[in-house]
A and B are shown apart, each in its own frame.
Chain A
Amino acid sequence: KAGVTQTPRYLIKTRGQQVTLSCSPISGHRSVSWYQQTPGQGLQFLFEYFSETQRNKGNFPGRFSGRQFSNSRSEMNVSTLELGDSALYLCASSADSDPNYGYTFGSGTRLTVV
């Protein structure tokens, strides 16, 4: 079956702009989580959506937001980009009911802010 698909793979934006990243989970998965990976901070949890509702949120400023659609696809948006937002953004999906299968990650979107 198809894995978690993230688009685009690479993105270059200018400071002050906004960006929207997309994540299509594995078919049947209802939970989608987003993570930011940077060399200095490692993998940090952004937020999680389940059945179109944000269920959990990490310690990121309000410039980071997300949403989930009825087909479980999710988007995250970063407004007023800062240089420090340059990172690999990963999304992961899970069926939620059985954590034994872990969370399946996509290949990520590499965002560079210049």
Chain B
Amino acid sequence: DQQVKQNSPSLSVQEGRISILNCDYTNSMFDYFLWYKKYPAEGPTFLISISSIKDKNEDGRFTVFLNKSAKHLSLHIVPSQPGDSAVYFCAASAGQTDSWGKLQFGAGTQVVVTP
């Protein structure tokens, strides 16, 4: 069963504008959420994370919002740059009850930033 869902397989955004990527989850035991970026033929690169005790975390151009009641999180990239073109994965962990080492990934969203 897919416990982490990214329902948008692709997103096209103009350079300089905001990219918003969405992620939904079903397991209420998830207590840690991460976003990764992946280029072809490379491993995923960690971008930003958020604990379930927070509703927002910022790191430079990246902000993650968490809505626990809706079991929804989003990643905002402002401003979008051509180098942001990649596949973005949302991942979740039930670290307190399971293991930090076990991440459940969404299917990914392909972001294309156009000039």
A45 lies within 8 A of B102 (CB): yes
The 4 closest A-B pairs by CB, nearest first: A48-B101, A105-B43, A102-B46, A43-B105
* A 82-100 binary contact with B (CB < 8 Å = 1; else 0): 0000000010101010011
Confirm or deny: B41 has a beta carbon within 8 angstroms of a beta carbon on chain A: yes
A48 to B103, CA, bound (A): 10
Q: Smallest CB–CB gap between A50 and chain B, Å?
A: 7
A105 lies within 8 A of B99 (CB): no
Number of B interface residues in the complex (CB < 8 A): 26
Task: Give the residues in chain A near B49, CB-CB below 8 Å.
Answer: 99-100, 102
A45 to B93, CA, bound (A): 11
| Chain B stretch 71-96: residues in CB contact (< 8 A) with chain A | 89, 91, 93, 95
A33 lies within 8 A of B42 (CB): no
B108 lies within 8 A of A96 (CB): no
B42 lies within 8 A of A107 (CB): yes
Confirm or deny: A104 has a beta carbon within 8 angstroms of a beta carbon on chain B: yes
Q: Smallest CB–CB gap between A2 and chain B, Å?
A: 14
Contact partner of B102 (CB less than 8 A), chosen from A4, A6, A48, A110, is A48
* B 42-59 binary contact with A (CB < 8 Å = 1; else 0): 111110010100000000
| Chain A stretch 38-91: residues in CB contact (< 8 A) with chain B | 42-45, 48-50, 55-56, 58, 90
* A and B contact pairs by CB, cutoff 8 A, 18 listed: A6-B43, A31-B100, A32-B101, A33-B102, A42-B105, A43-B103, A44-B105, A48-B99, A56-B101, A56-B102, A96-B101, A99-B49, A100-B49, A103-B34, A103-B103, A105-B43, A105-B45, A105-B46
A42 to B101, CA, bound (A): 17
A67 to B71, CA, bound (A): 35
Task: Give the residues in chain B near A32, CB-CB below 8 Å.
Answer: 101
Confirm or deny: B63 has a beta carbon within 8 angstroms of a beta carbon on chain A: no
